[in-house]
A = this chain, B = another copy of it.
Amino acid sequence: MAEVAHMIDTEVFLAFSTYAAIVILKMMLMDLFTSYLRLTKKVSYKSRTQQMFYSTHLNQCNVSPKVFANLEDTNLVKTTEDRRKCVRVDPDVERVRRCHQNDLENIIPFVVIGLLYALTGPDLYAALLHFRVFVGSRFIHTVAYLVALPQPSRGLAWIVGLFTTFSMAYRVITTALFL
């Protein structure tokens, strides 16, 4: 970790900045997508299986097309329905929220570990490999989650991202070790 002060301006750091910004933007889009779903959700399921699966749920909410977590949010939409029925839990919104939560749990550690990793002065090609594999795996993970691809596609994308971060953390600890 010698001379890191001079390395903060290197290509590795520029690459880290670019990939970190891209992957964080992707994470923030999940936030926008959740809000979009909450405001526009119609009760419509893609398949009969899904509908049967959520049948108990549908019985409670099939008169309410919007999904809000707070009572005061219901005045965001014009509706003649009972507003209280709009405060409900929807399986599709919950799916996006679980995907977002998984992003938080994986992308934030990547960004923090990646910053320290970029400061250890790694080889440019090794660093680019780590950043590209991680960012790619998270995009695959998001697609696999949102369209419910059969497993283990999502599980593999998640584990690849996790081990990329572990690999960077290993280099940070072995390079910087000072307990």
Contact = CB atoms under 8 A, between A and B. Distances in A.
A25 B25 CA distance: 23
Given A5-B5, A6-B5, A31-B162, A148 B21 contact: no
Given A14-B1, A70-B95, A148-B71, A173 B108 contact: no
Interface string A21-46: 11011011001100100000000000
A178 interface: yes
Contact of A25 (B27, B87, B120, B166): B166
Q: How large is the interface on A (under 10, 10 to 19, 20 to 34, 35 or more residues)?
A: 35 or more
Given A5-B9, A11-B178, A17-B120, 18 more contacts: A2-B9, A8-B8, A14-B176, A17-B119, A17-B176, A18-B173, A18-B179, A21-B169, A21-B172, A24-B112, A24-B169, A28-B166, A31-B106, A70-B148, A100-B105, A104-B104, A111-B112, A112-B112
